[in-house]
A and B are shown apart, each in its own frame.
Chain A
Amino acid sequence: MLIRVTPERLDPGAAIEAVRRDEAGAIDLFLGVVRNENKGRAVDHLVYDAYPSMAEKTMRALAEEAVGRFGLGDAAVLHRTGRLEIGETSLLVAVSAGHREATFEAGRWLVHEIKRRAPVWKKEVWADGEEWIEGPESLGMERAPAAMRGS
């Protein structure tokens, strides 16, 4: 199972080949990509911080759970750290299964759970400032008092 948190550029081909199986008729590949705006504000670049050893442990546990839950052939998760420019890939998730529906469901579930639990953080850097983002899907925000979620 390919699980990696790395400052190196992510290669979608490596993720695909890691999950390819003779018995798997479908592979779903998700790329998280750095967008040039957030909430109407122009983003110059992102900086990702991580707790790499725990992030890999968390991603592996989630990928193993996805294999069992959705009957996958295999799953691969790669997350990049450090400075990323607009258009670069921050997250790769690849899953394989006998048929496509399981891969679509597993891919969606796995990306959501990674955004919820994996200890990784992004900082948005604008022309005139920067801010660490608190993920709305994160377990921390889920547990926070409603007043702190701004909802």
Chain B
Amino acid sequence: MTVTVLLFASLADCVGARELALPYEPGDTVASVRDRLTADHPRVAEFAPTLLYAVDEEYAEEDAPVPAGATLALIPPVSGG
């Protein structure tokens, strides 16, 4: 099973992808998936202080569970309008 990670705007440019599939690990949380992504793409750490997260399209805290097959979106500070 995998977890789908979505990236946007500055973070997508930095990583060079808008969507990644990471292997799911039992007990995964927002933070654990983000940290695995950061291990592959160290510059993600620069974004962490202002990042928000959404699991399956709902804002979620860092300790929220990420189930197998879920979509985790990493959301840099928004600037719509």
Q: Which residues of A does B touch, CB under 8 Å? A: 32, 48-51, 53-55, 57, 79, 90-91, 111, 114-123, 132-135, 138-141, 143-145, 148
Contacts and interface: CB of A to CB of B under 8 A. Distances in A.
Given A49-B9, A54-B57, A115 B50 contact: no
26 contacts: A48-B80, A49-B8, A51-B57, A51-B75, A53-B57, A54-B54, A54-B73, A117-B59, A119-B54, A121-B9, A121-B10, A121-B79, A121-B80, A132-B9, A132-B13, A132-B76, A134-B10, A134-B77, A134-B79, A135-B80, A135-B81, A138-B77, A139-B52, A140-B77, A141-B50, A141-B77
Contact of B80 (A57, A122, A141): A122
If over half of A's interface residues share one DSSP class (helix, strand or loop), that class is named, otherwise mixed; here it is mixed
A111 B50 contact: no
B interface residue count range (under 10 / 10 to 19 / 20 to 34 / 35 or more): 20 to 34
Interface string B1-35: 00000101110110000000000000000000000
Interface of B: 6, 8-10, 12-13, 49-52, 54, 57, 59, 73, 75-81
Contact of A119 (B13, B49, B75): B75
B80 to A, nearest CB: 3
A107 B49 CA distance: 31
Given A134-B10, A140-B77, A140-B78, 8 more contacts: A51-B73, A79-B80, A91-B81, A116-B78, A117-B78, A121-B79, A140-B76, A143-B50
